[in-house]
Amino acid sequence: MTLRSLMLAMAVAATGVTSPLVTTTAQAQAKEQFFPVLPYRTGAYAPNGVPWANGYADYLKLINARDGGINGVKISFEECDTAYATDRGVECYERLKGKAQGAVFQPLSTGITFALTEKAPADKNPLITGGYGRSESSDGQVFKWNFPLMGTYWSAADIIMQHITKKEGGNLKGKKNCLGLPRQPLRQRAHCFVARARQDARLRVELVACGPPRCGAKSHLVASASIAS
């Protein structure tokens, strides 16, 4: 799926549209579609958050300038910086949900995703989690307002295992691997990879705690090399 088609799908989901006829009617009535944006331009993970936030904002502006919006409906958006903190993420959600009225939220954080999963059904706001968030939300019968696009931690763990197995010629016996993880809620999700590795029973996994991006990366690489040797 291209980024443009994803944006179109998000817009349809945000308005609760289910048929072409309803789509035409709803868009004829709407002057604009609001997108709440929860970036993390500040905080320890800002080196990752700033490029994403800039690109996302630029893309929304591009759609308005180049295409006149989505099927004639102009896009409006507002940012609320979470600093990658769960409490601030919830505060931002509460601040913007009145304007959103069913629009898509992207928490951009596993901790924030867990907190908003309890709120989204009552507010009828879809949550898109692109490769992060709650792995169990793949069950759409239970988590009807969570949309884990691009997989979850479990699917990522499986991809990693397949890649390692292929690189090693299909034989993992006696092999040792190192997994670097940040000292944040994301680290708690490492059990996916560890559990997948233990299923194989031939691969040993060592976990190395890492700081935020660009903070002490060299020392973490040295520690990883020491474990793997």
Judgement on whether residues 96 and 70 belong to the same structural domain of the protein: yes
Low-confidence ranges of the chain (pLDDT < 70): 1-30, 177-229
What pLDDT is stored for residue 203 in this prediction?
A: 62
What pLDDT is stored for residue 158 in this prediction?
A: 79
- Using DSSP, state whether 129 is helix, strand or coil: coil
Domain, as residue range, for 202: 153-228
CA distance 129 to 146: 7
Nearest alpha-carbon partner for 58 in 45, 77, 40, 83: 77
Judgement on whether residues 139 and 176 belong to the same structural domain of the protein: no
Judgement on whether residues 101 and 52 belong to the same structural domain of the protein: yes
Judgement on whether residues 23 and 67 belong to the same structural domain of the protein: yes
What pLDDT is stored for residue 103 in this prediction?
A: 86
The four Cα atoms 83, 85, 86, 88 give a dihedral, to 10 degrees, of -50
What pLDDT is stored for residue 31 in this prediction?
A: 84
CA distance 179 to 196: 13
If one counts the domains in the chain, the total is 2
What pLDDT is stored for residue 136 in this prediction?
A: 84
Entry pTM: 0.71
C-alpha separations of 148 from 65, 71, 110, 143, 184 in Å: 29, 25, 11, 10, 20
Judgement on whether residues 138 and 157 belong to the same structural domain of the protein: no
Domain with residue 126: its CATH number is 3.40.50.2300
